[in-house]
């Protein structure tokens, strides 16, 4: 019966699209309670990970949102928050009496937003597939551009943005091609597209240092809690049920590989060598 269940599950999930149900993002949304799924912005980049509380991470996320909101100039026109996550940024924007709408392809996020922020107009769709007759004075990609093909993103923003509108982007970009974890667009490709599609960068800030404390915090937790717990659990299994321990070797090896890959994305040295976390404001060049 269980084999049958497993094969049915596998069949029905053959076409599983990560953007509609992202397990990693789902996990983060359970860990942090202010409905934001980004790295946050620490005023003091030198704060030690041992001194950081969950509350401080959440405060840093609010401060990160503030960095975005500070850039919004066209306050009488609608704002679109693309890849809005759990709706935390849009909530703050909405509280400032600005008109904000949200978009995400993720069903859990839409359900959450519908029940917690019913005042927000939402689109349940990938940005590339957005279908709307609305247009916006500001388009925001807060750590969501990395999920979207650059050409598709530039083409869609061009369709929905008002003349003279602003495109605010916060995300990490790869500054070289090496590294195990290839998430994030290459900065060089992004800057090329900015030129190609006729945009100008009106503001740019490197906030890598300000997001680092979150990475240090995650590393500290992994090293001081998760890895020792994993070791404890596997050793316990080895001594209590050696047969099961050796039978599950392949599964444990694959877990180790996955952990190795995930940890590479938050490895401080690698991040500093391979990526930059940037805040951009773009405006279309006038002809």
Ligand X SMILES: C[S@@+](CC[C@H](N)C(=O)[O-])C[C@H]1O[C@@H](n2cnc3c(N)ncnc32)[C@H](O)[C@@H]1O
Residues within the interface to ligand X (CB under 6 A): 19, 22, 25, 36-38, 82-85, 88-89, 103-106, 109, 126-128, 142-144, 147-148
198 three-class SS: coil
Q: How far is the CB of 264 from ligand X (least distance, A)?
A: 17
Q: How far is the CB of 247 from ligand X (least distance, A)?
A: 36
For ligand X, which is the closer residue by CB, 104 or 210? 104
Q: How far is the CB of 141 from ligand X (least distance, A)?
A: 7
Place of tokens 């195990």: 180
Q: How far is the CB of 148 from ligand X (least distance, A)?
A: 5
Phi-psi region of 238 (alpha: psi -120 to 50; beta: other; left: phi over 0): alpha
For ligand X, which is the closer residue by CB, 128 or 283? 128
15 three-class SS: coil
List helix spans (H) across the chain.
Answer: 2-12, 23-31, 54-69, 88-95, 107-116, 150-160, 187-196, 208-221, 227-240, 242-247, 249-266, 268-274
For ligand X, which is the closer residue by CB, 84 or 263? 84
Q: How far is the CB of 63 from ligand X (least distance, A)?
A: 13
For ligand X, which is the closer residue by CB, 106 or 181? 106
Phi and psi dihedrals of 260, rounded to 5? -60, -45
For ligand X, which is the closer residue by CB, 19 or 162? 19
Q: How far is the CB of 27 from ligand X (least distance, A)?
A: 12
For ligand X, which is the closer residue by CB, 88 or 165? 88
- Can you tell me the distance from the alpha carbon of 63 to that of 181, in angstroms, rounded to the nearest whole number? 27
174 three-class SS: strand
Q: Are 46 and 210 in contact (CB under 8 A)?
A: no
């Amino acid at each position: 019966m269980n084999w049958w269940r497993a094969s049915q599950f596998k069949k029905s999930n053959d076409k599983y699209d990560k953007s509609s149900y992202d397990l990693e993002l789902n996990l983060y949304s359970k860990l942090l309670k202010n409905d934001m799924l980004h790295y946050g912005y620490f005023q003091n980049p030198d704060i030690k990970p041992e001194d950081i509380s969950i509350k401080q991470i959440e405060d840093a996320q609010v401060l990160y949102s503030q960095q975005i909101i500070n850039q919004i100039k066209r306050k009488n026109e609608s704002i679109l928050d693309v890849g809005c996550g759990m709706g935390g940024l849009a909530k703050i924007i909405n509280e400032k009496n600005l008109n904000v709408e949200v978009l995400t392809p993720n069903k859990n996020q839409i359900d959450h937003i519908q029940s917690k922020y019913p005042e927000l107009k939402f689109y349940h769709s990938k940005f590339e597939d957005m279908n709307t007759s609305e247009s916006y004075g500001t388009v925001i990609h807060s750590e969501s551009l990395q999920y979207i093909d650059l050409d598709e993103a530039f083409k869609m923003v061009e369709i929905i943005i008002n003349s003279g509108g602003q495109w605010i982007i916060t995300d990490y970009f790869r500054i070289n091609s090496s590294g195990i974890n290839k998430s994030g667009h290459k900065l060089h490709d992004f800057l090329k597209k900015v030129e190609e599609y006729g945009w100008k960068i009106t503001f740019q800030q490197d906030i890598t240092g300000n997001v680092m404390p979150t990475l240090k915090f995650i590393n500290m937790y992994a090293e001081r809690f998760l890895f020792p717990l994993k070791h404890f659990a596997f050793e316990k299994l080895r001594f209590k049920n050696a047969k099961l321990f050796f039978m599950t070797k392949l599964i444990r090896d694959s877990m180790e590989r996955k952990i190795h890959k995930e940890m590479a994305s938050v490895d401080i040295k690698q991040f500093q060598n391979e990526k930059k976390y940037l805040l951009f404001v773009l405006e279309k060049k006038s002809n």
